[in-house]
Amino acid sequence: MIVAAAPILSSAAGYVMLALFSVLWISLGIWWGRRAKSYDGFAVAGRNVGLALATATAVATWITSNTTMLAPQFALQLGVWGAVAYATASFGLFAFAPMSGRIRQLMPKGYTAVEFVRRRYGVWGTIPFLIISIFYALTWLISMSMAGGKLLNVLSGIPYEVGMSVVVSVCVLYTLFGGMYAVIGTDFIQSLIILVGLVVVAIAVLVKIDIADVHEKLTLDRPMLLWVLFPAALMSLFNNMLFSFGEIFHSNVWWSRAFAMREGVGPKAYAIGGLLWLPVPILAGFLGLAAPTLGIGISQPDTVGPLVAATLLGWGGALLVFVIVFCSLASSIDSLLAATSDLIVNDIVEPLLRDPIDDASKRRYSAISIIFLGGLAWALAWPNRGTLATVLFFAGPMVGSCIWPIVGGLYFRRPSAVAACAAMISGSVLGLAAYHWIGWFVGSLVGAAVSGVVFGLGTLIAPARFDFASLSSERVDDGGVDCLHQRDAVEDRLL
């Protein structure tokens, strides 16, 4: 028999928890942000973040509410392969580990991923990449905002609009005060809470439920979820893996951390972060597989994880799930706000003004950008349309199309602006077509595949000769890369 799901916590308890954590994160953000006395401190934490904080911020940012809420949804809808598919996102962190060292070496004074593309590919590569970066940041922000509202509504009955508004407002406030110092500082605490909480929840759930019963129920009622050759699940496996590559390779959330980390720290931090993150979606995904056994009515598939945990563990479990998902929400929203504001200031405002901006002006523009981004995400999340998966993976084809231009641009001198621009546009267009005509679980796969073929052909047909040494200069001519000439000695040394 299917039973209707009711909130585990009372609205009063939900409001108290919401108030406590709101005050905590804002206070910590202000405290950590005291060190942000310059724009370098505000944007990249003084470029001196050590291994412990660097690893914690990588883990906390990657354990988003999408991890704790989408991994169970994947398992509920796509079976065992669904949970494994989400776990493949750790490969993105592993792959970015050596890239972060390369980024830090090539651009020791850099701020954003778009800045790299502008210097490497000129205006033709910058325009599509900037559009993709802004669009992706907004979709991620919207999905995080939606997750906050859904979580509070499912656990305590707080109206979606109220919960979503409070979560967004809190993250905007403490990011506004402390910038990257506040983001990384709170991430450290949030990562500890998330990891310890997930272990406790996993152990408690395994004690409460018999895996054999879960397997028997799925075998009888939903055998497709256990089928090794489930087509949609297999496609989602590769789609999610490529989405994670594109997501991390292109997003300024990860580039800003590479610039913030002390030299030599990035590769270790991202590799350790990937190892710590890898089992999280597997544990969360089990909650989705357990839902049919419990007979819980699931009206919104992206809420199945918190709902199952809270149902099994009661009031205490609901509180723990509340804490875990609230921390995962904050650790992602603050990162997006800080990194995207850097992108707006350095890659939109400053180029438009055509003159360098002083520290005070950059801080002011950053504050305006953070408030604007928070307000826009709030407005777009308000209607609560679609699930977290459909919202987030709508950007999948676009981020997938950025994989090859980024990798090729970082390690090889021959890829040109023509190749990069054509790859990003063609991959995005055909990937979005696949998203609409086939499903969200193939968009990134198609986008990355098309982009790779076009990028390779473009590099063969219209090669460039890029000087990597130009990336370390303070300012460069952004007119394009074909006019750059490099010395053979420099080429041999760098490549």
Per-residue pLDDT band for 481 (boundaries 50, 70, 90) equals very low
> Comparing 334 with 289, which gets the higher pLDDT?
334
Per-residue pLDDT at 474:
58
Kindly report which listed range (301-315, 370-384, 427-441) carries the lowest average pLDDT score.
301-315
Query: Residue 391: what residue type?
Result: V
Instruction: Choose among 39, 322, 329, 61: nearest CA to 184.
Output: 61
Distance in angstroms (rounded) separating the CA atoms of residues 414 and 280: 39
Interhelix angle 90-106/252-260, nearest 10 degrees: 50
> Comparing 202 with 118, which gets the higher pLDDT?
118
Per-residue pLDDT at 494:
36
The answer for 492, left when phi > 0, alpha when psi is -120 to 50, beta otherwise, is alpha
Question: Residue ranges per domain, the chain?
Answer: 11-386
pTM (two decimals): 0.83
Tokens matching residue 94: 């592993």
Query: Residue 183: what residue type?
Result: V
Which of 1.25.40.10, 1.10.3720.10, 1.20.1730.10, 1.20.1250.20 is the CATH number of 11-386?
A: 1.20.1730.10
pLDDT, tens only, 73-115? 778 777 777 778 778 888 989 999 999 999 999 999 999 999 9
442, 241 Cβ separation under 8 angstroms? no
Cα distances from 284 to residues 143, 187, 207, 374, in angstroms, run 18, 20, 15, 28
pLDDT, tens only, 231-271? 777 777 788 888 889 989 999 999 999 999 998 999 999 99
Residues 366-388: what's their mean pLDDT?
87
Distance in angstroms (rounded) separating the CA atoms of residues 440 and 396: 8
14, 323 Cβ separation under 8 angstroms? no
